Structures are given as structure tokens and as C-alpha cells.
Structure 1
């Protein structure tokens, strides 16, 4: 170490694994990042994003002063509604402002909307990359001061189907077990998860468990992801066929009486109706729908059911369907049938995407739940939060992310506040979203950069990065860990919770609310303690107790050690419930005009909408999007590896280069969604899961045609 080098321990701002990062600094400059070998999550390992992806903090395109559009509001000049290349926004559209001027304008315009049209004419997107404290403060402001439950964040676009299914069946929607319990697991099902690229450190542990601890993997995935190389069995299913695949496994378990009769009798309900519904899901039927040989389905069922400890891990390949809730429910049934839940090394484990999507959900960044998943339409809950907040929160369910975006189009939502999200990269059928956002009368974006959505903003508020503020993240297995300020916010940027609290006080005054001391927090630790007084699972969590490896909720008291795995003796809903299932095909199937299936997802070097990683040196590692095409399909197009192709759906088209690879299955192509210049969500369909309101990102119909280098270049130039 250098003589003046110092180290700040914090938590990674990328995926939900929750690795510890030790920031080595000289003054305000991060020199390098390491992680200790004894940390319970990272164990000395970091992925490329955690180790090298921090330099976005210093990127010259970062917004460091409040910006106000030179002409504000409806009818003001805004970008043409189409996807954009990764080029800096035209700063001539805005002027720099003081914080006082910017916050006065924001509070004036939001208050005017509420007075003229009512509180539900406003909406907010919270942020799964921001801290628990940031998200708690923002949802509190919109509920207690503005008076709307039109509050959501990107959980709606990722694990919403998992959340709904787990709540219905168990009464709790979080990952049940600790990720490292893979070492105690005999058989693990991994499905809908390219774990190596999306949760790399968990993938390392999975590989180690296979190689050195005898764990057997069953991988169910339409793509030949890297975990297939470590699997005992690969179920190479067609996209969208999860319900028949896993229900056929349940059929085998029931038919061969491989189920745990004692567990079913003592801890579940509705088994008989469920078992009857499984009769139609024979392995033969499943083979016709999924393409997986019946013998492999039977083998998988026997392998999982007869294991001493079986676990299921899944990511977005399960919930991102118009039947995503049923997909997740089919997995839940396998755990309930076998009793592989409530014990170490077992469980139902949805791998959460963003670093704090679990925490943002815990903090109440959802339209149907107050903090701690307490229902907004429960009178006792409303009374509880009224007593705590000094204002009556709204007692009816609000709009979800996808419903809010549709409300832009209809004009029902007129003023929008977005903290750290980028819906003009993440919404499906992007061209519709681009047109819809033009209808907003007022848009505020609180972020580090002017991203695709920020180009439409009337006011941009510069938030502090994770390295410049204190707080907490809650990772995928419910571990609450500290985020520590390494240096003061650069420029005039501020911590998100501080911006929100200042704005809330102004709004209280302008909306005629009784002024309160609810926003006079001296430190984010006070926000977490307030959240703990309202959320039983966080009641025993304080900053002092989070030193070291953090705590896994529920932590009901100040002397409670945390909870590595859930449901040891009971489920929150009492008995876990089986639900009869039927198979519903995806909203759009291939045909002669659009003969290929498109599925979308992430790659190792980038993260979600790319706001951070595409403003980092990571972008040099994978600077352009590629579409994965199976070698047997390439002659049909025709194309060769590296050549430009045009991919079109019923909603739009993009041009990008082909990667011809065995990783793609025949008839199925894959495009990552990180690239604005060839935005995959121009193609995706906006069909929704009726229960979870999550879009069907994982399957739509497309055609592919050969393109020229000139077309590729002109597409980028015109975008």
C-alpha cells in the first residue's frame, strides 16, 4: 500500500450477490478494489464488474449540478421518440441551476399537478440500485405527503412473477436460503439463470460444490449456458415451456409416490386438487411441448425427489413471461412435494438481479405494499403508518411500472419522478414507451447520468454514487450490509435520501400538509431505524450490528443473530398451498412470417440498461451488441459469424452483428438488452402476466435477414 492509501469497506453496486468491496483510495480517487478472503459472500473473489466497474464515478458525462430544461413542460422541445445510440445528451437543452431553484421548481410543479388533478396524476419509480434508506424516504414522500401509491421499481420487470407466486403459496417472497448453502445441497435445479454471467460469485460456489462436494446439478435452460458443463443433466427446453416441464416432474413424483407424505400432511394444503391437476402433465405430453426427452424428465424428477437435500435456483428466465407466476408456482410445487424447504441446503431461491432489488421491495417501493409487504388496503396497516408518519397514506392499490407507462400514453399520469431507473431502455415495446412519455407534462430524473429516459427530463437532479454516501443494501439472500461513504459527493451531487427529504419539506408546505419533523434525519441510520420500527423483519437491525458480515432478515430483536434459512417450523401463511395449474402458451409464437424465437438477457460485462457499465472501462470489453444464432440456422438467413443482420418483430427492427454459436438452440436467438443503439426491447412484446403485471421479455417472434455494413452504420448514425 502507498503511504497515504486508505481503505473503505462497502458493498458492490451491481448484482444481488452482495460482495464486499474494499475501495483502496488516495484522496478522492479509487486506485483499485479488492475483497477479503474471509468475507461470508465474496470469499476473496470478485467478478469483472465488481473489481473493475467502479470508474463510472469519475466519467466526464456524469451530471454534477442540477439541470433545468430551458423550456419546461408539455409541448417543450424533447427528443424524437425513438431509441438512441450511446452518445452524450445535448447539454444545450438544459441550463445549470442551484439546488434551491431546482427543488422549488420540482415542488411547484408536482404540487400543481396534485391540486389540479389529484395525487394519482403523479407517479414515481424508485431504484433497485439505491440504498434502503433512499427508497424508504422516496416511497414515504409519495405516500405520506403527495398521497399516491403509484410507486414501483424494476422488480416489476424482473421477479414480480416469483414474488406473487411465493406470496400466494408461502406468504413470503424472498430467497429462502443462503446462497452458500449450495455446499450442503445434494441436488440443485438451476433454471432460467445464466448464473456464470449474471451472478458470477454464486456460480463459482456452485462449480466448487460440484467439483469438490458432490453436488449434482440439473440445468433447465433453452441456451447452452456455462453451467451446463457442470450439470449431471441438461433439460434443453423450448422457451415458454416451464409449466409443462416442471409439472411433468411433479407428475412423476406423485405417480411414483416419491413425495414426502409427512411434510405434505403436516405443512401444506390443497394437495389432492393439485395432484389431480397434474395427471394430464405426463412426460410424453411434456416432451411434445418442451422438446425434452421423456426419459430425461423422469430422471430429473427422481434425482431431485430422492435427494437428501434438494434446492432450486432460478433467475429471470422463469418470471419474465405472460405466465411467469405459473412458472414460479410449478417450481414451488416441486419443493413442497419433496419437503426440500425449511432446512439448510434446500429451499426456493430466486436469484435477485439488482444489488438492492430485495431491499427496495422490503422498503415499500411497490404499489400494493407498504414497507415490509404490509398491504396498502388493510385498514389496520393504514392506521399503523398514519400514526408513524403523521399523515394518512392512501388506502388503495396503485399502478405498477407497466401500468404507469401506459398511463403516460392516456394522460392519466401527468407528473413523473424517476430515481435511478431507465424505463426507455427497460420497458417492452420501446417505441410505444417513447411515444407515451411525450405526453408527460413534467418529468424529473434523479440520476448520475442523462440516460435515454433523462433526455426527456424537465429537471435532472444529480444523485451521489454508492461510493459517496452511507446506507445499506439487502442482497439476494436477505443479507443487509453496509454501504460506506469513501469520499464526499463530487461536484454538487447529493445523497438521494437528502434530496428527497428536502423536497418533501417543500411539498408539505405547498400542499398545505401539517409541517412535521418527519424529514429532519441527521443520518441515514435514523431512516433505517424508523423502517425497523415499522417492519418487523428489520426491527433488530442497526448500523452498529451490521459491522462485519451484516445480518440476514428476519432480525426481530436487537439480540437476534439473523436467519440463514426460512420456514424451519412454519410458513408465514400457516400452511403452504398447492395450486392446480394449466398450461398457457406464450402470447406470441413463431409463424411463417416471424419464424424465430427471441429471448433476451444479460452478459457478463454489462448491467441492465447500461447507465453505469457503458460509462465505464467495462464497455471496452464488450462495446457492441451481438445476436446469438445457432450454426444450423445461419444458412437460412443467410449470415456468417460477425456479419450484420436485421432482426425484426411486429413492433420494430434493429441491426447488429451475428454471433454464430452452439450456445443458441435451433430456432432461438438471444440478444442482450444493455445496448441503446440496438435496443432489444424495441422488439419485445408488451404482453403482461395478469397477476404480476410483468412483461414477456423472454419470448417473442422475430425474423432475421442479412444486412450490410452500410445498413449497420446508417442505423447507428440515424438513431
Structure 2
């Protein structure tokens, strides 16, 4: 958003099929984004070269022609080293930089200390691989740079993204067919949630709530004044709970007791509220602490609406099944709550809500249900029902006319900073987290089944670490950080280097990974540093708890929480 002016991926899925170079940086797309990876496979089958940049040799890195196994938290150092090599090799796109960017001289100065030797020493990546990456990326006709949580879930995640944007500006690998920056979304409507205003500073359609013209438009439609003050992010809400300023919370389709860093602290805050309401399709761990649970029909097959994916494509979602029991549609639940608060909202269908959104958001104005059905989905921006669909963004940067080119994209000067949770003699191992193919987020929708391909809850360790600690595969070990401890079976993973551990962020019931992680938040995005936790692993004679049903589950969670809070 800061660099290019739009908070979405620059390229369509179809474009990656024509790329001749694909970079998966902090992205295990093979497991975490398999639909997107199928598009990448078409390019791979046509001969595209693939780079995997990841601390572990993930399933995606196994597909790569070259794997850059960097140390956790050294992404900015690596990006600077690549940038310096591109500049010194005379491979920077000087015309594009001159016409479409600002701040280049400052960027050159920031890159200068990062020689290949210095970068290799700081990141753990061999100098020859850094050089090879730099030359291939700069020379590629169409390069796609893809990233996910491996870049953003750090205390400096926003700076990490800026560092990758710098590389695209340096080489002109953006604003053209097949050349772009692709932040792949982890769920089927993450992009849609942001588009609809689930970002504290934005009204729907990425319209800044601080802009009086934007507020006036919504005030006319809604008939109420809209405050100009930005709202709170999730981590800021947690801080307000600590201060006693936020005492009532309404959670819809979110499970922060499992998904947020330092889950013991999250549980303590939620239990300290005056009133907690949770609206979801299953009784999540968060819901076990609620005063009121509202069973909704948020299940994808039981409701109408739209989804917006990583390529900004808005698609229809259609109701296939009736909701069970007394469960109600989310729109109906909110309408009934409004009525209890004295506001008679009209009964509205999902299409009527969407049409209201189209009337307020220029980027979505042309996306009627008719157009979405006829075209099988449309990418924003799409202001005119009869207009063309835009495959890639920021083509304006290549215009010769300065007026058509518009605002230049700024290079970002960012600082390389190592993870907050430091390694020492007591906590000598680095734990990183991520998704697995057979589980999904906090396991609410995908955790209640067994499958021969499912890995299950475990701690992945390198063969060298297992041998050094005398741990056998399948043996239950105790994993402890400065915040808490969990029990988990050990699993051998040759893709991990010594000193690096991996656990799923899917958090099955029996292993709460986020009891370990740290609340070190990025100052801009407020995302916690899930990817870099200092831990120790110890042999133990303890066994994993058994799940005996929902009543035992609720009882056990409350008892565990009381013990954690007491300690």
C-alpha cells in the first residue's frame, strides 16, 4: 500500500504460468497454498527457474532449482546483498528507476555495506548463490516474487515486505504481464476481509477513514456520523484489555486463544473481560471462555456472499445446504442484535449488502452479481460493469507521460534487525512455525478427522539435533520457551538444519504452539513474531492428554488456563 498505493497482489494467477523465474520467499506454497502452486507448476513444466528462500527446506523448496537456506530473521540483510550485487553488476533497470521511483540514491547507500561476503556471513547463504539469484532475477524477462507469513510474521515484517518491493523497483519486475509481487493469502477471503473494511484505518474499498470526503460519502448512505479516529488492531485491543479500557468484546469467526502469540496472556485477558461474545460455527477454545456463544452459519456451504482471493478476484459463494438446528445467517444475527440495541435494520440479502458496498467503493462499483456470474469472477479495480478486467496492477509506472504515470513508487530504507527472542544457553534452539497441507489454521474446521496422510501434532527436528539430544522419532518431548511449555512427539525432518525446529501453526487441540510464541509486534502491521521463538527441547516421561469429548475439552481448557494464569 505504501509503495504502490494498493493493498493487493500485483499479478493474476494466469501470469505466473508465463513467468520464466519464480521466487518463493518465506512461502511454502506447495503445502500452504496448493491451488496457487498448481498455477506455478504450469510455469515450472514449461521450464521456469524456481528459487526457494526459506530457513527450512520445505516441500516448496524441494521443487526449487536453487534453495537459499537463510537464517531466521535475516531477510532484509539478504535483500540488501542481492540489491547491491544487482547494482554493482550494472543490472539495475535505470530507465524504470528514473521514471517510476524516488529515493534511489539513498537505497544505493543503504545497500553498499552489504557485500556478498558480509551478506553471506550474516544470513548463512553462500555468496555464490546470492550472486546467482541477483543475476537471474535482474535478467529475467518475467519474474514473480511471491511471499507469505515467512516474511510478514516478524517484528519487522512490514520492513521485510518493503525490502522485497525494493528489488522489484530496482529491476522493473512489476507493472508488466508476468512480472510482479505476489503476497499469497492464507485463507480464501483474507483479501476480501481487508477490502470490506476489516482494517482499522479503512472504510470498505481501502478508503481512509481519516479522509473527510470518504467519511461524508458513507455518512450520507448510513445516516450516522463516522469518527475520523483510526480503530484498533487486534494486538492493540489486547493492550487495551491489559489497561482495563476495553472490557467488552465481540468475536466473529476468530480463535485468538489459539491463533495469537503468547496464548496464555490472551486467555488471561479474555477471562478478565466484563463480557465476551463469540460467534462461530464450532465451539472453539476461545468460545469456551465466552459469556454468550452465537452459533452462526459462516460455513461456506450454508451461506450466500462473495470471496476475494490473492489475485483480487471476487467470486460468488452460493448456499448449498440449510444450516443445522437454530443456527442463523451472520447478516441475520447482526440485524437482530441491532434491533435489540434499538435500530430497525431492514431484512437484507447478501446481494443487497453487496450492492450497498458497490455504491460506496469505486473499485467494486461494476461488480454486480450478474457480472460475477457471467464472468466467473472479476478482479478489482472494476468500476464499470461493461469495462475490461485488469489482470495486473501498476502498469501506469511504465507510461512515458508523467501525468499518466502518476505517483512514483518510493524505495524504502529499512534496517536489518535480528529476532527479539534471543537465543542463549538456556534457550539455544530457534523454533519457526507454519501451515501444513492437511490442517488449516487453528483446526476448527479441519481438526476433527483422521487421515493416513495427516502428519498430526508434532515438533519437527533435524536428524543432527535428535541424535545430539538422544531423542527417537515419535518420542514425546517437552518444548519450552520463556512464556510456556508444550508436549509434542518428535518428528525427524531432514529439511531442517541443526538448531532449527518447526511446529505447525494449525494448533491441534493436543499441542498449543502459541503457548511458546512471543508477542513482539511489528509497529505498523501489529503482526506478532510467530516465526522466531527461542526454545529448548527436553526428554520427558509425560504423555499427551487424551481428548474425551467436548465437556472434558471445555473443563480441561479452563483448568489449564487457571494454572497458566496462576504461574
TM-score (norm 1): 0.73
1:560 aligns with 2:387: yes
The residue that corresponds to 1:535 in the other structure is: 361
Partner SS, residue 372 of structure 1: coil
Distance in 2 (CA, whole Å) between partners of 1:273 and 1:342 is 23
The residue that corresponds to 1:663 in the other structure is: 495
1:704 aligns with 2:537: yes
1:455 aligns with 2:288: yes
Check conservation: 1:370, 1:376, Cα contact below 8 A. Answer: yes
The residue that corresponds to 1:551 in the other structure is: 378
Distance in 2 (CA, whole Å) between partners of 1:573 and 1:453 is 46
Distance in 2 (CA, whole Å) between partners of 1:532 and 1:247 is 42
| Aligned residue runs from structure 1 range 587-598, under 5 A | 587-598=420-431
Partner SS, residue 447 of structure 2: helix
The residue that corresponds to 1:402 in the other structure is: 235
1:314 aligns with 2:140: no
- Deviation string 1:120-168 (CA, Å, 9 cap, x unpaired) is xxxxxxxxxxxxxxxxxxxxxxxxxxxxxxxxxxxxxxxxxxxxxxx11
How many angstroms does 1:666 deviate by?
1.4
Check conservation: 2:427, 2:535, Cα contact below 8 A. Answer: yes
1:219 aligns with 2:52: yes
**Gapped runs of 5+ residues in structure 2?**
399-404, 548-552, 561-567
How many angstroms does 1:338 deviate by?
0.7
1:387 aligns with 2:387: no
How many angstroms does 1:399 deviate by?
1.2
The residue that corresponds to 1:378 in the other structure is: 211
Check conservation: 2:241, 2:273, Cα contact below 8 A. Answer: yes
Check conservation: 1:409, 1:437, Cα contact below 8 A. Answer: no
Check conservation: 1:606, 1:618, Cα contact below 8 A. Answer: no
1:480 aligns with 2:321: no
1:631 aligns with 2:457: no
| Aligned residue runs from structure 1 range 103-502, under 5 A | 167-211=1-45, 213-464=46-297, 465-502=299-336
How many angstroms does 1:714 deviate by?
8.5
| Aligned residue runs from structure 1 range 508-523, under 5 A | 509=342, 519-523=345-349
Distance in 2 (CA, whole Å) between partners of 1:712 and 1:607 is 21
How many angstroms does 1:380 deviate by?
2.1
1:526 aligns with 2:352: yes
Check conservation: 2:200, 2:232, Cα contact below 8 A. Answer: yes
Distance in 1 (CA, whole Å) between partners of 2:412 and 2:250 is 38
How many angstroms does 1:277 deviate by?
1.0
Q: Which has the higher contact order (CA 8 A, sep 6+)?
A: 1
- Deviation string 1:508-554 (CA, Å, 9 cap, x unpaired) is x2xxxxx56xx324321111111111111101001111115200111
* Change over 3 Å in CA distance of 1:625–1:649 after alignment to 2: same
Check conservation: 2:261, 2:517, Cα contact below 8 A. Answer: yes
Check conservation: 1:368, 1:398, Cα contact below 8 A. Answer: yes
| Aligned residue runs from structure 1 range 582-661, under 5 A | 582-615=415-448, 617=449, 621-622=453-454, 624-661=456-493
How many angstroms does 1:713 deviate by?
4.4
* Match of residue 569, structure 1, among 396, 403, 420: 396
Distance in 2 (CA, whole Å) between partners of 1:394 and 1:619 is 50
How many angstroms does 1:339 deviate by?
0.6
Distance in 1 (CA, whole Å) between partners of 2:136 and 2:453 is 40
Check conservation: 1:638, 1:705, Cα contact below 8 A. Answer: no
1:685 aligns with 2:511: no
Give the length in aligned residue pairs: 542
Partner SS, residue 285 of structure 2: coil
How many angstroms does 1:505 deviate by?
3.3
Distance in 2 (CA, whole Å) between partners of 1:321 and 1:278 is 21
- Deviation string 1:646-687 (CA, Å, 9 cap, x unpaired) is 100000000110001212221100011222321110000101
Distance in 1 (CA, whole Å) between partners of 2:237 and 2:54 is 32
Distance in 2 (CA, whole Å) between partners of 1:413 and 1:201 is 40
* Change over 3 Å in CA distance of 1:573–1:245 after alignment to 2: farther
Distance in 1 (CA, whole Å) between partners of 2:456 and 2:98 is 54
* Change over 3 Å in CA distance of 1:284–1:573 after alignment to 2: farther
Distance in 1 (CA, whole Å) between partners of 2:173 and 2:93 is 9
Distance in 2 (CA, whole Å) between partners of 1:247 and 1:573 is 27
- Deviation string 1:31-85 (CA, Å, 9 cap, x unpaired) is xxxxxxxxxxxxxxxxxxxxxxxxxxxxxxxxxxxxxxxxxxxxxxxxxxxxxxx
Check conservation: 2:278, 2:293, Cα contact below 8 A. Answer: yes
Partner SS, residue 15 of structure 2: helix
Distance in 1 (CA, whole Å) between partners of 2:262 and 2:240 is 15
* Change over 3 Å in CA distance of 1:522–1:432 after alignment to 2: closer
Distance in 2 (CA, whole Å) between partners of 1:503 and 1:619 is 40
Check conservation: 1:221, 1:236, Cα contact below 8 A. Answer: yes
Check conservation: 2:304, 2:318, Cα contact below 8 A. Answer: yes
* Change over 3 Å in CA distance of 1:619–1:414 after alignment to 2: farther
How many angstroms does 1:232 deviate by?
2.0
Distance in 1 (CA, whole Å) between partners of 2:293 and 2:388 is 42
Check conservation: 1:606, 1:619, Cα contact below 8 A. Answer: no
* Change over 3 Å in CA distance of 1:457–1:713 after alignment to 2: closer
* Change over 3 Å in CA distance of 1:546–1:714 after alignment to 2: closer
Check conservation: 1:182, 1:206, Cα contact below 8 A. Answer: yes
Distance in 1 (CA, whole Å) between partners of 2:197 and 2:262 is 27
The residue that corresponds to 2:402 in the other structure is: none
* Change over 3 Å in CA distance of 1:441–1:573 after alignment to 2: farther
Distance in 2 (CA, whole Å) between partners of 1:241 and 1:521 is 52
How many angstroms does 1:573 deviate by?
7.2
| Aligned residue runs from structure 1 range 66-105, under 5 A | none
The residue that corresponds to 2:565 in the other structure is: none
How many angstroms does 1:471 deviate by?
0.6
How many angstroms does 1:350 deviate by?
0.2
TM-score (norm 2): 0.92
